Amino acid sequence: MNVEIKAQERIDELGRNGYRILQDPDRFCFGMDAVLLSDFAKVKRGAKVIDFCTGTGIIPILMEARNETASFEALEIQEESADMAERSVAMNGLQNKIKVIIGDVTKARDYFSCDSYDAITCNPPYMVGQHGLVNPTSPKAIARHELLCTLEDILREGAKLLKQGGSFYLVHRPFRLTEIITLCIKYKLEPKRMRMVYPYTNKEPNMVLLQAIKGGKPRLTVESPLIVYEKPGTYTKEIYDIYGMEQEK
Q: What is the pLDDT along the chain (249 residues), one digit of tens a residue?
A: 678 888 888 999 998 899 999 999 888 789 999 999 999 999 999 999 999 999 999 999 999 999 989 999 999 999 999 999 999 999 999 999 999 999 999 999 999 999 999 999 999 987 786 655 556 667 777 777 777 889 999 999 999 999 999 999 999 999 999 999 999 999 999 999 999 999 999 999 999 999 999 999 999 999 999 999 999 999 999 999 999 877 765
Q: Where are the beta strands (DSSP E) in 5-89?
A: 10-13, 20-23, 48-52, 71-76
Q: Tell me which H or E stretch contains 37.
A: helix 32-40
The C-alpha atoms of residue 244 and residue 241 are separated, in whole angstroms, by 5
Q: Which one-letter amino acid corresponds to residue 236?
A: T
Q: Which one-letter amino acid corresponds to residue 179?
A: E
Give how far Cα 149 sits from Cα of 85, 108, 228, Å. Answer: 20, 11, 29
CATH number for the region 10-243 comes to 3.40.50.150
The residue ranges of every structural domain in the chain are 10-243
